Amino acid sequence: ACQHRLWPEIDKVVQQQVAMARMGIGECGSGWQLFAEDGEMKMYRREEELDGMVVDPLKAVHVVKGITGHEVCHYFFTPQYRYDWETTLEQMNVLETISDDTLMFMQTHKRIWPASQRDVVFWSHIRKLPNEKDRDGPDIWTVVNNSTEHPDYPANNGKCVRIFLKVCLMCQTRVDPPKDGTPLSRENVSCKITYCSVVNPGGWAPASVLRAVYKREYPKFLKRFTAYIINQTKNKPIMF
């Protein structure tokens, strides 16, 4: 993967995104407003516009029992599961297998009235990072999705408006070993998930419509995605 033309960009964006994800909400600078909460899940956004378009950064934090960061990133990165959990996906194609940890996708999302239908081309990279805080603790796993261009899929040449996104899913596993020395089980693991995204909707859409879409869709996405992983992994060995 080192020699691929995208490698320098991938490495730079991954380092950037992970640094951002690691910062707590307080450190990320003010302006974050909590817009959704459900148990351990907290969703924040900052209201930002670019040329009159809503490009609100989103940051969600969640703690889920019984799964690990490797499992969360595995089910997020691997194409074959995506239709199971990505509710708004209409079409997904793998355009390029850059390496075993880096893929390029083309996706069309279901049209959300009154906005026109959207599509997106992005590279997706999965990576394990050393746990700097706790040397012998479980590693951190991350998936970064970043818009890119592909010669065969020029933007806005068909029915869809091309969106641009930068997404970072960063997961930190926590293990609380059983006191009585019994073997580790899923009751002893949990995962702290940080999901950051900035989406540029590409073409104009009313701010009120976009903010309503995000307010509805993001909590739904994260709840459905984590429930899917719990269900997929419950009778399988733990993936650390």
Distance, in Å, from the CA atom of 76 to the CA atom of 169, rounded to the nearest integer, reads 8
How far apart are CB 205 and ligand 9MC at their closest, in Å? 6
192 phi and psi, to 5 degrees? -95, 115
Within 8 A by CB and 6+ apart from 190, the residues are 63, 64, 65, 66, 67, 173, 174, 176
Report if residue 118 touches ligand 9MC, rule: CB under 6 A.
Answer: yes
Strands 33-38 and 161-162: unpaired
Measure the CA angle with vertex 79, ends 73 and 80; round to 5°. 110
For residues 164 to 203, the per-residue mask of contacts with ligand 9MC, x marking binding by CB under 6 A and - elsewhere, is -x-x-----------------------------x-x-x--
Residues 141, 127 contacting (CB under 8 angstroms): yes
Q: Shortest approach of ligand 9MC to residue 215 CB, angstroms?
A: 10
Stretch that binds ligand 9MC, among 25-33, 44-52, 159-167, 177-185 (CB under 6 A): 159-167
Cα(142)–Cα(240) distance, rounded to whole angstroms?
13
Give 108 or 233: the residue with its C-beta nearer to ligand 9MC: 108
Asked if 60 touches ligand 9MC (CB under 6 A), the answer is no
Task: Tell me whether residue 189 or residue 225 sits nearer to ligand 9MC (CB atom).
Answer: 225
Nearest-angstrom CA–CA distance, 17 and 11:
10
Residues that bind ligand 9MC (CB under 6 A): 86, 88-89, 107, 109, 112, 115, 118, 120, 145, 163, 165, 167, 197, 199, 201, 205, 210, 213-214, 217-218, 221
